[in-house]
């Protein structure tokens, strides 16, 4: 038996959900294959979305018409803006979510897409024509699903192996089976696979904790929701707590290191350097007497608590003692033990920036299978893979975001250009044009692109456009409003610690004032023009206000980054034709091998390959120019003699 679709998505995680929806919104018939309908968008690890740089990804997904931000707002039980003391470009919105409500929110969004057919089952192998095209997938060994494009978002399920201390169990997630045979299909297509691992911490019952011994971590007073579609907070908000490990914790871990699979050599996969297990942290930061542990409720209707910061694969008996050595957790009752999971991943250097496998028509990969960690990184890739799979079915041009356009552009360019040897996590420092990629400008940068693709709803587009023009208008009004140091203005401005002593503009004045508590007096103290400008400024929401002020205050830095980005953009636009030969005089063998392996699609990408020197880039630029002008390449081949 077989069924035909336009796009098949294998896996219903955060990548699979975005991929399915993006393709469906293009009007394509999508099959979403998942082992269990209820498991769609399950939060395997921490019940939180966003954070530093990850929050940026979520906003970008929203701006492009994705679903993650919306689902987050429908299930958020605590909002917190990280890095509040820094500039807006590096602030990261984060939300603690209800573990049950988040997947339900995603499922209901997907349920509204008539084009998506959810099929419960396990993909046993890919159906391909030779090694150059994939035509679909074989389900549970008997049913064939056929489509022009297949997106594999297998998460940690490819030959997933869980470790609880010495105990091993085959599976992709607690109590869920793994996908054992799909890896073979990928290998048969010539793909190189590797092994990664990740871990999750133990969960405990709330009533067994002594919260009075921990520091309360309330959410923000004025929560910043994620999606531009959201008006206000939906759910009751909760507290989190902060506690820390003790010397006893550290000595327990040190004594039992030999029983931790990573140290005993039981796990072959490489672990996440940026989200290490507590074993890792104790060993690596031996001089630190304590580590933070964030105590986070998993939802409104559960008493499970997530212990953020102590992901571990220690055996259960040790885990229990480790947990109970932490301040306030002395009597903790463990609800579920932490574990490590190992899984297959595909070196993403084998992908095009569209996330299509290079040289294999109709096969796209997204999410953890590409070596990333994190829901947000997965969702971002899912969205792009969905968009490009749809584009390939519809024979439209590919959709690639540049590094100066979006963190998503940085993410995918990093993956396909640099590859990864450990689970890849997004950081603001990975983006060289970070100042241009603040959350405040995300709708301005990306929503028009999403709208052009037809995946942004009319409502979201309208809100985004209104927001953009609102912010621009206010900025212009502030910049064109002159402020004179007359007595009433001086008196008024002194109250905000920014006394006006010489003529200035409302914009400049604003950058010197403490933003909190600015108000315009009923008697119109600062004068009608300034009052009007400030009045329109105050009508913006907090995020928009900060955006406007930072654009004024840091205009010099923004200009510098914009100029630099514009310079590099030219290289990104210099496309390298498919089939272009890098076997040319002047390239060292090393450089040539690297270019051949990555097969960069643009001069810009070539310049970012490690070890490709500026000299080699100049030479490549010259060859591309010659090729473009149709001229015969001057033969520098040849031997030279003197």
Partner 1 sequence: MLRLDGPLVPNILLKLTTRSFEPRRATRVRIRDRDDEIIDEAVVTLFPAPGSFTGNHTAEISLHGSPFLVERCISEALHLGARLAEPGEFSERAVLNGKIDLLQAEAIVDLIESRSVLQASLALSHLGGSFSRAAEEIRGELLELLTLLEGALDFADEGYEFIRRDQLLDRLKKLNRRLELLAGTFRRGRAVREGIRLVLLGQPNAGKSTLLNLLVGSDRAIVTAVPGTTRDLLRETIEMAGLPVTVVDTAGLRETEDVVEGIGVERAHAAAEEAEIVLYLVDARFGIVEADRQELTRHPGAFILYTKRDLADPPEGCWSIAATTGDGLDDLLSRLTSVTRERFDLGSAGPAITNQRQLTAVEQGYEAVASAIRAVESDTTEEFVAVDLYRAAGALEALTGAISAADARAEVFSRFCIGK
Distance between CA 613 and CA 373 in Å, rounded?
Answer: 30
Calculate ∠ Cα 618-623-629, nearest 5°: 125
Does residue 418 touch partner 1 according to CB under 8 A?
yes
Spell out the residues 6+ positions from residue 563 whose beta carbon is closer than 8 angstroms to its own. Answer: none
- Chain residues 285-304 in contact with partner 1, contact rule CB under 8 A: 292
- Chain residues 354-393 in contact with partner 1, contact rule CB under 8 A: none
Closest CA to 389 of 402, 380, 399: 399
Does residue 264 touch partner 1 according to CB under 8 A?
no
For 454-489, the three-class secondary structure string (H helix, E strand, C coil) is: CCCCHHHHHHHHHHHHHHHHHHHHHHHCEECCCHHH
Give the number of other CB atoms < 10 A from CB of residue 288.
Answer: 11
Distance between CA 420 and CA 625 in Å, rounded?
Answer: 32
Does residue 561 touch partner 1 according to CB under 8 A?
yes
Does residue 593 touch partner 1 according to CB under 8 A?
no
Does residue 585 touch partner 1 according to CB under 8 A?
yes
| Type and span of the H or E element at 70 | helix 68-75
Does residue 637 touch partner 1 according to CB under 8 A?
yes
Binding mask 44-73 for partner 1 (x = CB under 8 A): --------xx--------------------
Of 17, 22, 69, 435, which one interacts with partner 1 (CB under 8 A)? Answer: 435
Does residue 587 touch partner 1 according to CB under 8 A?
yes
Distance between CA 22 and CA 380 in Å, rounded?
Answer: 11
Give the nearest distance from C-beta 285 to partner 1 in angstroms.
8
Closest CA to 46 of 357, 299, 264: 299
Spell out the residues 6+ positions from residue 95 whose beta carbon is closer than 8 angstroms to its own. Answer: 48, 49, 50, 72, 73, 76, 77, 78, 79, 80, 226
Q: In Å, how far are 175, 201, 464, 599 from 468, measured between CA atoms?
A: 46, 41, 6, 38
Does residue 640 touch partner 1 according to CB under 8 A?
yes
Does residue 159 touch partner 1 according to CB under 8 A?
no
49 touches 70 (CB < 8 A): no
108 touches 23 (CB < 8 A): no
Does residue 312 touch partner 1 according to CB under 8 A?
no
147 touches 5 (CB < 8 A): yes
# residues contacting partner 1 (CB under 8 A): 57
Task: Decide whether 53 or 71 has the Cβ nearer to partner 1.
Answer: 53
Does residue 309 touch partner 1 according to CB under 8 A?
yes
Of 213, 560, 563, 625, which one interacts with partner 1 (CB under 8 A)? Answer: 560
Of 341, 609, 623, 624, which one interacts with partner 1 (CB under 8 A)? Answer: 609
Task: Decide whether 12 or 374 has the Cβ nearer to partner 1.
Answer: 374
Task: Decide whether 390 or 624 has the Cβ nearer to partner 1.
Answer: 624
Region near partner 1 per CB under 8 A, out of 77-85, 131-139, 151-159, 219-227: 77-85
Does residue 239 touch partner 1 according to CB under 8 A?
no
Task: Decide whether 275 or 461 has the Cβ nearer to partner 1.
Answer: 275
Distance between CA 195 and CA 216 in Å, rounded?
Answer: 39
Of 170, 248, 491, 615, which one interacts with partner 1 (CB under 8 A)? Answer: 615
Does residue 570 touch partner 1 according to CB under 8 A?
no
Task: Decide whether 430 or 470 has the Cβ nearer to partner 1.
Answer: 430
Give the single-character DSSP code of 99: T
Give the nearest distance from C-beta 235 to partner 1 in angstroms.
23
Does residue 630 touch partner 1 according to CB under 8 A?
no
Task: Decide whether 121 or 309 has the Cβ nearer to partner 1.
Answer: 309
Region near partner 1 per CB under 8 A, out of 205-213, 339-347, 423-431, 458-466: 423-431
Long-range CB contacts for residues 557-564, cutoff 8 Å, separation at least 24? 557/435, 558/435, 558/436, 561/433, 561/434, 561/435, 561/436, 562/436, 564/432, 564/433
Distance between CA 295 and CA 309 in Å, rounded?
Answer: 9
Does residue 10 touch partner 1 according to CB under 8 A?
no
Region near partner 1 per CB under 8 A, out of 82-90, 314-322, 466-474, 501-509: 82-90
Region near partner 1 per CB under 8 A, out of 106-114, 163-171, 522-530, 557-565: 557-565
Task: Decide whether 502 or 638 has the Cβ nearer to partner 1.
Answer: 638
Binding mask 190-229 for partner 1 (x = CB under 8 A): ----------------------------------------
Distance between CA 168 and CA 142 in Å, rounded?
Answer: 30
Does residue 619 touch partner 1 according to CB under 8 A?
yes
Does residue 599 touch partner 1 according to CB under 8 A?
no
Of 36, 222, 397, 429, which one interacts with partner 1 (CB under 8 A)? Answer: 429
Q: For the chain, how far is it from start to end, CA to CA, in angstroms? A: 72
Distance between CA 24 and CA 117 in Å, rounded?
Answer: 10
Distance between CA 592 and CA 254 in Å, rounded?
Answer: 46
543 touches 224 (CB < 8 A): yes
Give the nearest distance from C-beta 123 to partner 1 in angstroms.
33
Of 225, 608, 623, 624, which one interacts with partner 1 (CB under 8 A)? Answer: 608
For binding to partner 1 (CB under 8 A), which residues are involved? Answer: 52-53, 82-83, 85-87, 89-90, 273-276, 280-281, 284, 292, 308-309, 418, 427-430, 432, 434-435, 554, 557, 560-561, 585-591, 607-617, 619, 635, 637-642
């Amino acid at each position: 038996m077989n069924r035909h679709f336009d796009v098949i998505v294998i896996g219903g995680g955060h990548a699979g959900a975005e991929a399915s929806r993006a393709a469906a919104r293009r009007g394509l018939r999508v099959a979403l294959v998942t082992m269990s309908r209820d498991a769609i968008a399950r939060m395997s690890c921490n019940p939180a979305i966003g954070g530093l740089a990850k929050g940026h990804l979520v906003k970008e997904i929203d701006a492009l018409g994705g679903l993650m931000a919306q689902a987050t707002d429908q299930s958020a039980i605590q909002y917190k803006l990280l890095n509040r003391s820094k500039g807006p470009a590096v602030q990261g919105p984060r939300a603690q979510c209800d573990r049950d409500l988040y997947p339900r929110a995603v499922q209901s969004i997907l349920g509204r897409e008539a084009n998506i057919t959810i099929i419960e089952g396990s993909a046993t192998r890919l159906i391909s024509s030779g090694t150059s095209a994939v035509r679909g997938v074989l389900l549970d060994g008997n049913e064939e699903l056929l489509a022009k494009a297949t997106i594999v978002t297998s998460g940690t399920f490819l030959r997933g192996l869980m470790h609880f201390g010495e105990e091993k169990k085959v599976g992709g997630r607690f109590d869920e089976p793994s996908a054992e045979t799909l890896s073979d299909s990928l290998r048969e297509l010539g793909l190189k696979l590797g092994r990664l691992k990740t871990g999750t911490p133990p969960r405990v019952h709330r009533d067994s904790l002594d919260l009075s011994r921990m520091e309360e971590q309330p959410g923000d007073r004025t929560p910043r929701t994620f999606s531009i579609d959201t008006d206000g907070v939906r759910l009751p908000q909760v507290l989190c707590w902060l506690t820390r490990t003790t010397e006893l914790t550290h000595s327990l871990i040190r004594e039992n290191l030999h029983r931790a699979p990573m140290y005993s050599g039981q796990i072959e996969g490489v672990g996440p350097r940026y989200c290490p297990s507590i074993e890792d942290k104790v060993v690596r930061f031996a001089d630190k007497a304590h580590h933070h542990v964030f105590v986070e409720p998993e939802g409104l209707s559960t008493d499970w608590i997530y212990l953020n910061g102590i992901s571990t694969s220690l055996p259960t008996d040790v885990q229990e003692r480790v947990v109970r050595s932490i301040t306030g957790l002395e009597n903790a009752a463990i609800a579920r033990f932490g574990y490590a999971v190992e899984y297959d991943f595909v070196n993403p250097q084998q992908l095009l920036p569209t996330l299509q496998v290079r040289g294999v028509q109709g096969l796209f990969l997204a999410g953890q299978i590409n070596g990333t960690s994190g829901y947000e990184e997965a969702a971002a890739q899912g969205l792009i893979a969905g968009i490009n799979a749809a584009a390939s079915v519809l024979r439209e041009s590919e959709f690639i975001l540049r590094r100066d356009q979006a963190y998503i552009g940085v993410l995918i360019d990093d993956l396909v250009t640099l590859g990864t040897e450990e689970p890849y996590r997004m950081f603001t420092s990975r983006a060289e044009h970070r100042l241009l990629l603040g959350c405040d400008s995300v709708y301005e940068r990306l929503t028009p692109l999403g709208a052009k693709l037809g995946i942004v709803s009319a409502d979201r587009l309208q809100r985004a456009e209104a927001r953009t023009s609102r912010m621009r208008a206010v900025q212009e009004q502030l910049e064109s409003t002159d402020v004179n140091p007359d007595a009433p203005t001086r008196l008024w401005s002194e109250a905000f610690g920014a006394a006006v002593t010489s003529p200035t503009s409302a914009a400049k004045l604003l950058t010197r004032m403490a933003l909190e508590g600015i108000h315009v007096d009923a008697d119109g103290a600062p004068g009608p023009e300034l009052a009007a400008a400030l009045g329109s400024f105050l009508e913006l929401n907090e995020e928009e206000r900060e955006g406007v002020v930072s654009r004024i205050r840091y205009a010099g830095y923004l200009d510098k980054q914009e100029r630099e980005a514009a310079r590099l953009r030219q290289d990104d636009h210099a496309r390298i034709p498919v089939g272009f030969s890098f076997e040319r005089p002047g390239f060292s063998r090393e450089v040539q091998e690297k270019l051949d392996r990555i097969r960069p699609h643009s001069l810009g990408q070539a310049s970012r390959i490690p070890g490709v020197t500026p000299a080699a880039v100049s030479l490549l630029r010259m060859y591309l120019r010659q090729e473009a002008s149709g001229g015969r390449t001057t033969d520098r081949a040849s031997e030279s003699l003197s």
